[in-house]
Structure 1
Amino acid sequence: MLLTIETKRTYRIAAGIYFFIAGLTYSSWACRIHDLKAFFGLNNASLGSVLFALPVGLLLSLPVSGWLVTRAGSRKVLIAAGLLFPFFLCMIGLATQLWQLVGILFCFGFLNNVLEIAMNTQAVGIETLYQRSVMASFHGLWSLAGFAGVAAGTLAIGLKWPIWQHFGLIALLCWLLVFSSWKYLLPADEVQESPPLFAKPDGYLLRLGLIAFASLVTEGTMFDWSGVYFQKVVAVPEIFTTVGYIAFMATMAGGRFTADKLVTRLGTRRVLQYSGMTSTTGLLLAVCFPGMYTATLGFLLVGIGVSAVVPLVLALAGKSATLPPGVAIAAVSTVGFLGFLIGPPLIGFIAETTNLRWSFALIALLSFGTTLLAGGVDKATKRH
């Protein structure tokens, strides 16, 4: 059955709302970490141990997420996760004991990934309807929601709202968005009665996972170390320590809204190759010329370079001929997410033995892996 343009657009808007929910919820939590640290009286080491519960939950959910989406369908899982993910944000604000916070953060990380896999599976289905690249624009909404979450968090902190009140209002907004959009989600995707819980990726999916790994190593570095780099290496006044991070986030968001048009014109392989070269150039610029303006320009380039990689890789994974979309996306995400986990500690280890500039230089080399690995994407896609 042929669908009208209006129907396709309705599906696209509904799925995009869940990307916005994911970005808004996660960024709202992230901007109050410092307040939680003060509330529980944690030092840096203790805070790191507590925060580790979130990526553990996320990592353990990766195979389960793909299984759930394939078994029940992305629509049902997306609605449930869209309600539960903000619910656990509320629970973070209500935690009074450290053990409660650790358990809630585990569940928060778990639900975050369930939501991510389900909404990306929906996005792959919608991209199939459009017969052109639209995945990057969905991830652009996630980034846009991240800015909205930080802005709302800054306002809440300025008004001295307690954490539970701030998180409760964000959750209420997210629930309203779910109730207004769930009827318009894409109703059908591939469902299996007995999908595999653990699926070994084939060579094609492994290549995609490694491309995501190379990009997410860079993203993780930017998220966790950009401020430190500007403070320690660029040596800017304290008020400017976030300039690099803001530059990176701005171009990453903007790049995601323009990437789909570039894919239509240039093809996925070229966009991925140019992305790797751009992020590598940006990192090397910041390493070789660590001044205020050159480092900011470098971080702007890094944001452009990483913006499209993960969305395009997940879109390709969802079209795998060997695994259902949810399982394939989860398999690629598993490999890629390891880069997000490994990158920040790797930076710290190398910085401790040498210096921070050498750490960023190594990440630049790893980032170039996106360009090298993308060379075989077209050939692999033709076989699939």
Structure 2
Amino acid sequence: MRIGQDILASRGPAAAFAAMGLYWGGFAALVPDLKSQAGLTDEGFGLAMLVSTCGAVAAMWAAPVADRHLGRAAMPLLGLATALAFLSPGLATGWWGFALGMALAGAAVGCLDVVMNARLAALEVTRGRPLMNLNHGLYSFVYAGSALVTGVSREAGAAPLAVFSGLGLVTLALVVVMATSPLVQDHAARAAKAAVSAWPLVLPGGLIVMIGFLTEQAAEGWSALHLERNLGAGAAAGSMGPALLGFTMGMGRLFGQALAHRFPEPAVIRIGAGVAAVGALLAGFAPAVWVAYAGFAVLGLGASVIVPMAFAFVAARVPAPQRARAISHLSVIGYAGFFLGPPLMGFLSGLFGLGAAFGTVAVILALIPAALVGWMRRGA
């Protein structure tokens, strides 16, 4: 099968995507316990996550330099750094400890995110086949599995540190795959500096990625809390929120892999954003657990194609000498949404409740088809 061949060819970045899925899936299911362990309110949790943005953004600016100097060792070293960094929030018992721990985790995964997407973009160019949806889909499936296993572990009484330690052992095996995979160099990107500016394309593309990440992280970080607090779900049933989101995002991205051969990325992004907005409204104002499950499933299907399609669209249209730097800038802008989601949700939840917070996410998603996709196409 071509999918199997594509996974094998991109096994290095795929292992990095899987490592990120492990930790974010586990983290999403652990949010209620992490908040309780650190003694955080909704607003305090959101603010602590905002602090971690600084580490992530700083690391992303430095990621191309680290990639250039570390070469083959970049992804495995960053995978190890991620495993170590996530032990910190697992140990945290106060606001400062949790905020600093998440800053370290944000720096590690932020740098890894840029490097693995840059490697994947080079592979797409070399092989002439779309790979973004497939690898982002792998992330989603691993995320879903990690959230489910973490939920069962929580139900059995496992503490956050024990869960993160277990995920670290799995990550060690993934690091071996990263270290032994072939390194594909985009030689054209190193030949010269491009004379044109990529910002007219990168800026709107980055904003689309930012909203996509904001949507994902808002649902990942607050779905379990919404189900448990507002709809009376238990720990295992609450973990089904992020797990269902991850599973449907994985399915949507596999479907997006096929769509990428037949339809232009902007059209798919528009439809995906509209579907995700409907899902956010359904989940936020659900009268019962099963309705919220349906909302998170619809949200996952729609949001699944936003980020990988935007990455693919930009990477294919930026001149080769600027590709790695453009992906770094795209990630810096986009990754802000990955950490702005929880603070936004925390602030709105504290004032108006989680239902209104998810409704706000739906309004933000509407900006993609209304304005940003057209801006990105003009920039291209």
- TM class, shorter-chain normalised? 0.7 to 0.9
Answer yes or no: is 1:15 the counterpart of 2:13: yes
Q: Do the aligned partners of residues 177 and 376 (structure 1) sit closer, same or farther apart at CA in structure 2, a change above 3 Å counting? A: same
Cα distance in 2 for residues equivalent to 1:242 and 1:159: 13
Shift of 1:24: 1.2
Cα distance in 2 for residues equivalent to 1:349 and 1:60: 24
Q: Rg: which structure is higher? A: 1
Give the residue type in structure 2 aligned to 1:236. L
Cα distance in 2 for residues equivalent to 1:143 and 1:83: 20
Cα distance in 1 for residues equivalent to 2:353 and 2:170: 44
Shift of 1:279: 1.5
Cα distance in 1 for residues equivalent to 2:346 and 2:159: 33
Cα distance in 2 for residues equivalent to 1:273 and 1:10: 31
Q: Percent identity?
A: 22
Shift of 1:367: 0.7
Answer yes or no: is 1:300 the counterpart of 2:297: yes
Equivalent position of 1:331 in the other structure:
329
Q: Do the aligned partners of residues 363 and 147 (structure 1) sit closer, same or farther apart at CA in structure 2, a change above 3 Å counting? A: closer
Deviations 1:123-170 (A, max 9, x none): 112222332322111011111221232344345445655655543443
Answer yes or no: is 1:179 the counterpart of 2:176: yes
Alignment of 1:205-216 (within 5 A): 205-216=202-213
Cα distance in 1 for residues equivalent to 2:125 and 2:227: 42
Question: Do the aligned residues in 1 keep the contact of 2:222 with 2:342 (CA within 8 Å)?
Answer: yes
Question: Do the aligned residues in 2 keep the contact of 1:220 with 1:343 (CA within 8 Å)?
Answer: yes
Q: Do the aligned partners of residues 63 and 294 (structure 1) sit closer, same or farther apart at CA in structure 2, a change above 3 Å counting? A: same
RMSD: 3.8
Equivalent position of 1:271 in the other structure:
268
Question: Do the aligned residues in 1 keep the contact of 2:265 with 2:313 (CA within 8 Å)?
Answer: no
Q: Do the aligned partners of residues 289 and 156 (structure 1) sit closer, same or farther apart at CA in structure 2, a change above 3 Å counting? A: closer
Cα distance in 2 for residues equivalent to 1:351 and 1:94: 26
Alignment of 1:1-384 (within 5 A): 10-32=8-30, 34-35=32-33, 42-44=39-41, 50-69=48-67, 71-72=68-69, 75-90=72-87, 103-157=100-154, 160=157, 164-189=161-186, 202-227=199-224, 230=227, 236-239=231-234, 244-285=241-282, 290=287, 294-319=291-316, 320-321=318-319, 324-350=322-348, 357-372=355-370, 373-375=372-374, 377-378=376-377, 380-381=379-380
Give the residue type in structure 2 aligned to 1:315. A
For residue 361 of structure 2, give the secondary structure of its aligned residue in structure 1.
Answer: helix
Deviations 1:312-364 (A, max 9, x none): 21223334228633321221122223334444444454566656555444432
Ranges of 4+ aligned residues in structure 1 off by more than 6 Å: 4-8, 94-100
Question: Do the aligned residues in 1 keep the contact of 2:60 with 2:111 (CA within 8 Å)?
Answer: yes
Give the residue type in structure 2 aligned to 1:54. S
Give the residue type in structure 1 aligned to 2:315. G
Give the residue type in structure 2 aligned to 1:14. G
For residue 311 of structure 2, give the secondary structure of its aligned residue in structure 1.
Answer: helix
Cα distance in 2 for residues equivalent to 1:367 and 1:78: 32
Give the residue type in structure 1 aligned to 2:106. G
For residue 109 of structure 1, give the secondary structure of its aligned residue in structure 2.
Answer: helix
Deviations 1:48-98 (A, max 9, x none): 5555543331122221123333x3376432122122221333465567998
Cα distance in 2 for residues equivalent to 1:226 and 1:158: 17
Question: Do the aligned residues in 2 keep the contact of 1:215 with 1:370 (CA within 8 Å)?
Answer: no
For residue 368 of structure 1, give the secondary structure of its aligned residue in structure 2.
Answer: helix
For residue 264 of structure 1, give the secondary structure of its aligned residue in structure 2.
Answer: coil
**How many pairs were matched up?**
372
TM-score normalised by L of structure 1: 0.79
Shift of 1:255: 0.7
Cα distance in 2 for residues equivalent to 1:106 and 1:356: 25
Cα distance in 1 for residues equivalent to 2:55 and 2:109: 9
Q: Do the aligned partners of residues 222 and 26 (structure 1) sit closer, same or farther apart at CA in structure 2, a change above 3 Å counting? A: closer
Question: Do the aligned residues in 1 keep the contact of 2:31 with 2:225 (CA within 8 Å)?
Answer: no
For residue 144 of structure 2, give the secondary structure of its aligned residue in structure 1.
Answer: helix
Question: Do the aligned residues in 2 keep the contact of 1:25 with 1:149 (CA within 8 Å)?
Answer: yes
Shift of 1:201: 5.7
Question: Do the aligned residues in 2 keep the contact of 1:75 with 1:118 (CA within 8 Å)?
Answer: no
Shift of 1:300: 2.1
Q: Do the aligned partners of residues 227 and 111 (structure 1) sit closer, same or farther apart at CA in structure 2, a change above 3 Å counting? A: closer
Question: Do the aligned residues in 2 keep the contact of 1:318 with 1:324 (CA within 8 Å)?
Answer: no
Deviations 1:97-130 (A, max 9, x none): 9866654432221111111111111111222233
TM-score normalised by L of structure 2: 0.80
Q: Do the aligned partners of residues 282 and 318 (structure 1) sit closer, same or farther apart at CA in structure 2, a change above 3 Å counting? A: same
Question: Do the aligned residues in 2 keep the contact of 1:135 with 1:311 (CA within 8 Å)?
Answer: yes
Q: Which runs of 5+ in 2 are unaligned?
A: none
Give the residue type in structure 2 aligned to 1:28. G
Question: Do the aligned residues in 1 keep the contact of 2:11 with 2:177 (CA within 8 Å)?
Answer: no
